[in-house]
Amino acid sequence: MSTPTVLVLPSPTQGHVIPMMSLSHKLVEHGCNIIFVNSDFNHERVVTSMENINNNDSSSLYSSPIKLVSIPDGLGPEHDRVNFGELCDSMLSTMPSELEKLIEDMHMKEGIKVTCIVADVYMGWALKVANKLGIKGAFFCPTSASVFVLQYNAPNLVADGILDSDGFPISESEKPLWLSSSIPGMDIESCWWLRLFDPLVEKRMFKYAIHCISHSNLTEWCLCNSTQELEPEAFTLAPKLLTPIGPLLPTTTSSLGQFWKQDMSCMTWLDQQPHCSVVYVAFGSHTLFDQRQFIELALGLELTNRPFLWVVRRDPNCTNYVSLPSEFEGCKGKIIGWAPQKMVLSHPAIACFVSHCGWNSTLEAFCNGVPLMCWPYFGDQFSNKSYVCDGLKVGMGFDSDENGLVSRGEIKAKVDQLISDEDTRSRSQKLMEKLKHSMEEGSTSSKNLSKFVTWLKE
Ligand code: UDP
């Protein structure tokens, strides 16, 4: 059997690059070669974050069986990539031809023949490129299975008159949306494309996502970063396509794929904290705070009188700079720019995770038995929060005050409540045990991945 060369194409965000890098490492273990394609913009960030590392990890950049390459996303370096609508339009008009050129060049100049493209669902157009070049194609779904099936069924929701063709609900009805009798009804407002702040962006993203997913007729595989144990019902709704292979967690042996350098000093700091005492606070790679909310958060953390580890991103491309209030002393806390999150969450000093509920962060909390204080910001984070709080009951949410702010008092009260809630902690621990098995050899996820590799090698 020849060694398959898999081209892995994440959509250009941190929360998609990390799990697709984890998938790449697993495929390498199964004997595949990997070509990992970032946008030029993100490739630069990945390479820079590795070069800044003063240990052996940076050498893996050049010796890894994962070959890092890049193509343009069509926007200049100065462009604001937080505007997803603009980014997606630009990617669609630029990337398909760039991808085709990359594959042909690798073949002609380096003799590399790509066996299969594994494309992020939100880069679904890549399957058309694969089809044109006579290469196999597969999808990777970086969200929960429930979020995927909702998106997958969106054309039916339009046909049934529940959504208009731009993805907006037609009636003002408060009724929940039922995808199947076995899945709890969901609030239509929690559809991820209705949680992007700007109706114009929401409409563009809905159309982009529908366009991408429409390419699912070109593949029989959609590898999903979830497990049968977590979402049994959701997997029954697209049984021929959606295949659980998760949870994929970042590898601790390599930080390849991180956009920012991880600040490892927090690990020695954590070693000095009492068992189950630290509030870990991190909101992923996109969340922006307005100044007033940032102040409440800073003072709320202080008010808990507990040690806290708080990730405050300082992204040079981000115009949204917030500053700490003058009365903030922060003596019990540590603030860092980017954490080795998987290692942090598995540290025994961690008591709870104040999180935006990105799907990766949520899975990482589940796999480490850490209860969540949910503070969703946009997109699918709202449905992930419902899943955590109402479904699995391994976390709680904050309530906003009359000004729409989560006050410092609310932060203290809820963090105290969560940390002292033994039932929630025990459910989190049980969930961790359950998920441990889904990562072991012989589990459904691991068998599914082996089947996929067999298909690659056929
Ligand atoms: N992450 C990290 N360090 C941090 C914050 C986040 O390594 O300080 C990682 C985290 O472990 C997760 C990813 O970044 O794998 C964020 O993905 P998620 O889906 O949670 O959120 P997004 O960034 O997409 O909003």
What pLDDT is recorded for position 238?
A: 87
Question: What's the pTM value of the predicted model, to 2 decimals?
Answer: 0.96
pLDDT in the model for residue 199:
95
Residue nearest to atom 11 of ligand 1 (CA): 341
Q: Which of 337, 367, 347 is nearest to 307 (CA)?
A: 347
Per-residue model confidence (pLDDT) at position 112: 96
At 77 the pLDDT is: 86
Task: Please tell me the predicted confidence (pLDDT) of residue 55.
Answer: 54
Residues constituting the chain = 458
Ligand 1 centre from 26 Cα, in Å? 19
Whether the ω angle into residue 96 lies within 30 degrees of 0, i.e. cis, is no
If the chain, 458 residues long, is cut into consecutive pieces of 10 residues, what is the mean pLDDT of each piece?
Answer: 92 97 96 97 93 57 82 91 89 98 97 97 98 98 95 92 92 70 72 93 95 96 96 89 95 88 97 98 94 96 97 72 86 95 98 98 98 97 94 97 97 98 98 92 95 96
Q: Which of 420, 358, 406, 413 is nearest to 385 (CA)?
A: 358
**What pLDDT shows up at residue 177?**
76
Distance 111 CA to ligand 1 centre (A): 36
Q: What integer pLDDT is reported at residue 109 of this predicted model?
A: 96
Q: For residue 180, how far is its CA from the centre of ligand 1 (angstroms)? A: 31
- What amino acid occupies position 290? D
Q: What is the DSSP string of 38-90?
A: EEHHHHHHHHHHHHT--SGGGGHHHH-SEEEEEE--SS-TTS-TT-HHHHHHH
CATH architecture of 265-436: 3-Layer(aba) Sandwich (3.40)
Instruction: Tell me, in angstroms, the distance from the centre of ligand 1 to residue 392's CA.
Output: 21
Burial 239-254 (b: 16+ CB within 10 A, else e): eebbbbbbbbbbbeeb
Ligand 1 lined by 281 (C-beta under 6 Å):
no
Classify domain 5-249+439-457 by CATH number.
3.40.50.2000
Q: Which atom of ligand 1 is nearest to the CA of 342?
A: 11
Start-end of H helices in 368-443: 381-386, 408-419, 422-438
* CATH 3.40.50.2000 domain residues, the chain: 5-249+439-457, 265-436
285, 312 Cβ separation under 8 angstroms? no
Report the atom number in ligand 1 closest to the C-alpha of 258.
7
Q: For residue 53, what pLDDT is reported?
A: 62
- Identify whether the C-beta of residue 23 lies closer than 8 Å to the C-beta of residue 248: yes
Of 341, 355, 378, which is best to mutate to test ligand 1, by the most ligand atoms within 8 angstroms of its C-beta? Answer: 341
Whole-number Å distance, alpha carbon 266 to ligand 1 midpoint, is 16
